[in-house]
Amino acid sequence: MRKSLGVVAAVTIGSSLACSGQLNLPGVPGTSGGAHNVEGCKKYVQKMNDAPCNPVDLDMAQLCPDSLNLNPCDMSSYYGCMADAVKCSGDNNGFLDVSGQANCAPSNCN
């Protein structure tokens, strides 16, 4: 339970604090930066759910709502980094190790 709450908090805080400002408006120049955020988030959540050492299945619909694409920042590289950092450590796929996620920086969208 603690693991899932930590992951939920990391995803929520990371996507919320990364950028703020204008909405993603299709066809309006400069407002489509976050068009791939939901896709990136879903790949990250799938990687978490596929980890054999993670005993909890994360709810993709809850963690990756369509509203992520409203963020003007393209967070796909951030979610890619977060997914790449998911690994199992210890004997027999012992425990979920997401310590590498500390090296993942949210997009800087100025």
Per-residue pLDDT of 41-84, as tens digits, reads 999 999 999 999 999 999 999 999 999 998 888 999 999 999 99
Helix (H, G, I), strand (E, B) or coil at 80: helix
Rounded CA-CA distance 78/1 in Å is: 24
pLDDT value of position 3: 54
What is the average pLDDT across 96-110? Answer: 87
If you compute the radius of gyration of the chain from its CA atoms, what whole number of angstroms results? 15
Rounded CA-CA distance 63/83 in Å is: 14
Domain limits, the chain: 2-12+32-103
Q: What pLDDT band is residue 24 in, cutting at 50, 70 and 90?
A: very low
Rounded CA-CA distance 17/55 in Å is: 28
